[in-house]
A and B are shown apart, each in its own frame.
Chain A
Amino acid sequence: MWSDALNAPRARDGKAPDVLHQGGWVEMREYRDTEEVDFVIVGTGAGGGTLAARLAEQGFSVVAMDAGGWFRPIEEFASDETAQEMIYWNDHRVTDGANPLTMGGNNSGKAIGGSTVHYAMVALRFRPEWFKSRTLLGYGADWPIDWREMWHWYAEAERQLSIAGPLSYPWGPKRGRYPFRAHELNGAAKLLAEGAQKTGIEWTETPLATLSAPYRDANGTSPPCVYRGFCRFGCSTNAKRSSLTVFIPRALAAGAEVRDLAMVGKIETGPDGRATGVHYHRDGEWRFQKAKNVIVAGYAVETPRLLLNSANDRFPDGLANSSGLVGKNLMTQSNSAVWGRMDTPVRSYKGPPSLAISEHWNYDDNNDFHGGYLWLGQGPMPIEWAGVLTGAKGLWGDALREEMRDYNHMVGVKMVGETLPNEANRVTLADDVDQYGLKVARITFSYGDNDKAMIDHALQQMRASIDAVDASDIFDQPDDNCHLGGTIRMGDDPTTSVVNADGRSWDIPNLWVCDGSLFPTVGGVNPSLTIYALALRMADRIGEMSKRGELYRCRM
């Protein structure tokens, strides 16, 4: 039963769950708490899981920890929206600001594999100009990494994740062929395509991290996608290519230890100001793991929360915070939608929810707002759909029930829109404490005028697209948000950023960050592939630095 995964740690006594085989276990190397490992990694999602694999494969001793449970997808993931809430980070948080963010399924995972266990698998590259958005486009902040270098790591991430994508991508510089072919479009995707064609904008098949053909490597096999449609509630076939199914098995095979149900509460620093390890809660007690390097990969809320919760006499404002920027510049991506009703059934819930995409407005600069957005086909599950009808149309009772009868006929497109960094949008510590006794995050967010202008523009354009396919009863869902970014900005200058291009703290050289919180700007694309790419790059950089003796007491 999945509840077992939450009752007691599964990875122990030298073995860990083998998620690629039913009931399987794999051997796992274990380290004592007193053993000073090369790297302790906090979080096992697109950043942490990828790093755990790549660092262990280079011979470093690695312990990766995650507050969530170690689920077995093929045995434990149900076609049940409510039951699957277990994979989201639904712990207590305080949200405020003019537009309090919706947290949970859209942006926070709590499981081995992190948010990649429930992500929609949309695997997109940034537009090259976004890496220099301040210089080239006049907004936000420049990234400290050149787009050409990122292009290399994107390709590498796509290869390792066996991304299934179109043979030619309509936007941006030429890219190599995706490892696997694009999936068949479902009803919702075909309508997105038709709407795009009729309104004169380009569309394509969405590059997705789910297999369109069988896959096998040394750790096991995965079947191609069966188009079950519960991707965002946990893929039960392992066709989804996530940190859980790709990088965690590799990390274990390479000798990393991965600890489930291990909540890291504080990073300890020594007399020299360097990190010495992490305090973590597991098996009902607080423990301390010694480490030469600490990498935080908890995403844009939990990462700054941990750094702030780790404040001590030497670092009273939290770790790595000499710039005062830890937690600031929180960004989300606007996720407004337009829905309509088709006369013929669409059955949009079949298959991955976002099989078709238009990035047209990410590559058009002739607007009265900065940044860009895309839209994707949608396939909400029934309870989710009821939530849309309740939230956007205010339906309840009989009216809601009647409208739900049209579930098979609904069609919609949803934006993923860039919001601009703003120091007033931030993660701080609230006075409330969670079940571990740790101060919870206060998440303050308000849309700026630019963000609102973009949402208005997107709603108008999406409405035109839904209207073009002759949908009726068209309505907007203006208020929704999804992915996060910012809060631990990477940059070239210690006064205007928290970490450098390698995710290394300017203040504490053996403290690193690797997740979406690094993003100086979030762009108008889903962030997971960029996080994977950053993690692959960072692992490579750490290997190089180690060879040159530039790592603290850690040399290969």
Chain B
Amino acid sequence: MTRIARLIAIAATTALTLSKKRQLQRSPAATGALVGQSRTIVTAARRLNRASGMIAGSVLIDSAMEHYRGNFSNRAMWTPLATAAMTIGASAHGLGDRQHGAHTVRDTIYSTAGAVGLVGTAFHIYNITKQVGGLSWQNLFYAAPLGAPAAITLSGITGFLAERVRHNRPGTPELIFGYPAGQVVAGGTALSLLATSAEAGLLHFRGAFHNPAMLLPVTMPPISAALLLRAALTGSAGRMTTYFVGATAAMGLAGVVFHAYGVSRNKGGFKNWRQTLFAGPPLPAPPSFTGLALAGLSALSLIRRARRG
């Protein structure tokens, strides 16, 4: 593949070597009185791994399709594929890992994903500004999408938070950088949902919201984000928050069906899939919402756990 992919692979191998040291700090799930909390911590972390993997899956397929459409004209266009694939691997590993303690390799991959997303965003901004018209609606609609690379950053952040949650010791309050873990994850998820909703809003605006269902991703996620923000600030969350965040997760999956319908409405429908899959709404995009909402649900369970003491 590319030099960048090789660099990432080298970074991952190095991290794996270094991780042996951290591995020593990792421990099996606790026993006795701490079992309940231990399970909660690991379960919450695994949920976050899953959420990260879900977002990365969305990024992998979406960027593969879009960059294939763009003929991979710039070598850097392979980067999100490599990064997302590694993030999926890390997340699958995390999901199967029932031990405490952050895993250095996963941490490295997640951190790399976070950084790659930021670099990708810079690339996309550069792509937009070099077009005639610069930062215009035309280019926001049709040049490299501003929000897309950010999704891999969100995947990385979610995974990074998963590792931070997992690093808590049973018997101590779950914290991330000294703050209640559930609230931190809830806050981060809320902001991520808002950003993703803005991206969907831009592209659905390009489609003139021609189908009322296109309003869902610009209404439900912001409501969920507001409820999660409240939970982040107050350290408590009601059922309504869970319902909305759960519904947002479902919406992300339903979005694939809606987008499939959108593809079918392009000339030739699925019989002409080699064109319509690219011309129509992107099938892999909506599950980003599911991934983030899963992170939100994980945050809510942590918050409730913290509240119960």
| A interface, CB within 8 angstroms of B | 166-167, 179-182, 184-185, 190, 193-194, 197, 205, 212-215, 221, 223-224, 226, 237, 239
**Shortest CB distance A471–B (Å):** 15
CA distance A269 to B131 in the complex (A): 62
Q: Which residues of A contact B132 (CB under 8 A)?
A: 185, 190, 193-194, 197
Give the contacts of B268-288 with A (CB-CB under 8 A). Answer: 275, 279
Knowing A181-B205, A214-B262, A214-B266 are in contact, say whether A226-B279 is a contact too (CB < 8 A).
yes
Contact check, A180 vs B208: say whether CB atoms are below 8 A apart: yes
User: Contacting A193 at CB < 8 Å: which of B133, B267, B275, B279?
Assistant: B133
Contact check, A181 vs B267: say whether CB atoms are below 8 A apart: no
B137 close to chain A: CB less than 8 A: yes
28 contacts between A and B (CB under 8 A): A167-B137, A179-B208, A180-B208, A180-B210, A181-B141, A181-B206, A181-B208, A182-B138, A182-B141, A184-B138, A184-B141, A185-B132, A185-B142, A190-B132, A193-B132, A194-B132, A212-B206, A212-B208, A213-B210, A214-B266, A221-B265, A223-B265, A223-B266, A224-B279, A226-B267, A226-B275, A226-B279, A239-B267
CA distance A185 to B275 in the complex (A): 19
CA distance A356 to B45 in the complex (A): 52
B36 close to chain A: CB less than 8 A: no
> Nearest B residue to A191 by beta-carbon distance?
B132
**Shortest CB distance A464–B (Å):** 17
**Shortest CB distance B213–A (Å):** 12
B70 close to chain A: CB less than 8 A: no
> Nearest A residue to B139 by beta-carbon distance?
A185
Label chain A's interface by main secondary structure. Answer: loop
CA distance A412 to B267 in the complex (A): 29
B171 close to chain A: CB less than 8 A: no
Contact check, B210 vs A215: say whether CB atoms are below 8 A apart: yes
CA distance A239 to B210 in the complex (A): 15
Contact check, A185 vs B138: say whether CB atoms are below 8 A apart: yes
Q: Which residues of A contact B211 (CB under 8 A)?
A: 214
Contact check, A184 vs B142: say whether CB atoms are below 8 A apart: yes
Q: Which residues of A contact B206 (CB under 8 A)?
A: 181, 212-213
B207 close to chain A: CB less than 8 A: yes
**Shortest CB distance B138–A (Å):** 6
Q: Which residues of A contact B137 (CB under 8 A)?
A: 166-167, 181-182
CA distance A212 to B209 in the complex (A): 11
User: Contacting A213 at CB < 8 Å: which of B138, B207, B267?
Assistant: B207
A167-B137, A221-B265 known; 7 new pairs, CB 8 Å cut-off, are A179-B208, A180-B210, A181-B205, A185-B142, A213-B207, A214-B210, A226-B279
**Shortest CB distance A230–B (Å):** 13
Knowing A194-B132, A212-B208 are in contact, say whether A224-B141 is a contact too (CB < 8 A).
no
**Shortest CB distance B201–A (Å):** 13
Most buried by B among A184, A190, A214: A214
Q: Which residues of B contact A182 (CB under 8 A)?
A: 137-138, 141
Q: Which residues of B contact A194 (CB under 8 A)?
A: 132
Q: Which residues of B contact A214 (CB under 8 A)?
A: 210-211, 262, 265-266
Q: Which residues of A contact B267 (CB under 8 A)?
A: 223-224, 226, 237, 239
Q: Which residues of B contact A213 (CB under 8 A)?
A: 206-208, 210
**Shortest CB distance B34–A (Å):** 56
> Nearest A residue to B265 by beta-carbon distance?
A214
Q: Which residues of B contact A197 (CB under 8 A)?
A: 132
CA distance A194 to B141 in the complex (A): 18
**Shortest CB distance A411–B (Å):** 13
Q: Which residues of A contact B210 (CB under 8 A)?
A: 180, 213-215
CA distance A237 to B266 in the complex (A): 10
CA distance A212 to B206 in the complex (A): 8
CA distance A185 to B139 in the complex (A): 9
> Nearest B residue to A194 by beta-carbon distance?
B132
**Shortest CB distance B98–A (Å):** 48
Knowing A179-B208, A221-B265, A223-B267 are in contact, say whether A205-B138 is a contact too (CB < 8 A).
yes
CA distance A450 to B141 in the complex (A): 42
**Shortest CB distance B146–A (Å):** 16
CA distance A167 to B262 in the complex (A): 23
**Shortest CB distance A223–B (Å):** 4
Q: Which residues of B contact A212 (CB under 8 A)?
A: 206-208
Give the contacts of B123-155 with A (CB-CB under 8 A). Answer: 131-133, 137-138, 141-142
Q: Which residues of A contact B265 (CB under 8 A)?
A: 214, 221, 223
Contact check, A181 vs B207: say whether CB atoms are below 8 A apart: yes
**Shortest CB distance B134–A (Å):** 9
CA distance A213 to B208 in the complex (A): 7
CA distance A224 to B280 in the complex (A): 9
7 closest cross-chain pairs (CB), A and B? A214-B265, A184-B142, A223-B267, A213-B210, A193-B132, A213-B207, A180-B208
Q: Which residues of A contact B279 (CB under 8 A)?
A: 224, 226
CA distance A272 to B223 in the complex (A): 71
Q: Which residues of B contact A166 (CB under 8 A)?
A: 137-138
Contact check, A224 vs B208: say whether CB atoms are below 8 A apart: no
Q: Which residues of A contact B131 (CB under 8 A)?
A: 190
> Nearest B residue to A184 by beta-carbon distance?
B142
**Shortest CB distance B215–A (Å):** 14
CA distance A196 to B127 in the complex (A): 21
**Shortest CB distance A450–B (Å):** 34
> Nearest A residue to B204 by beta-carbon distance?
A213
Q: Which residues of B contact A184 (CB under 8 A)?
A: 138, 141-142
> Nearest B residue to A227 by beta-carbon distance?
B279
CA distance A259 to B82 in the complex (A): 61
CA distance A179 to B211 in the complex (A): 13
CA distance A223 to B266 in the complex (A): 5
CA distance A167 to B208 in the complex (A): 11
> Nearest B residue to A178 by beta-carbon distance?
B208
Q: Which residues of A contact B207 (CB under 8 A)?
A: 181, 212-213
Most buried by B among A166, A205, A221, A226: A226
**Shortest CB distance A497–B (Å):** 40
Q: Which residues of A contact B142 (CB under 8 A)?
A: 184-185
> Nearest B residue to A180 by beta-carbon distance?
B208
CA distance A278 to B206 in the complex (A): 47
Give the contacts of B154-212 with A (CB-CB under 8 A). Answer: 205-208, 210-211
CA distance A440 to B141 in the complex (A): 50
Q: Which residues of A contact B275 (CB under 8 A)?
A: 226
**Shortest CB distance B88–A (Å):** 31
CA distance A162 to B278 in the complex (A): 23
CA distance A270 to B245 in the complex (A): 75
CA distance A224 to B263 in the complex (A): 11
CA distance A182 to B207 in the complex (A): 10
**Shortest CB distance B235–A (Å):** 42
CA distance A215 to B267 in the complex (A): 12
User: Contacting A224 at CB < 8 Å: which of B133, B138, B266?
Assistant: B266
Q: Which residues of A contact B141 (CB under 8 A)?
A: 181-182, 184
Most buried by A among B131, B265, B275: B265
CA distance A237 to B269 in the complex (A): 12
CA distance A260 to B206 in the complex (A): 38
Most buried by A among B131, B142, B208, B279: B208
> Nearest B residue to A211 by beta-carbon distance?
B210
**Shortest CB distance A220–B (Å):** 12
CA distance A226 to B266 in the complex (A): 8
> Nearest B residue to A167 by beta-carbon distance?
B137
CA distance A179 to B131 in the complex (A): 25
CA distance A212 to B265 in the complex (A): 12
Q: Which residues of B contact A224 (CB under 8 A)?
A: 266-267, 279
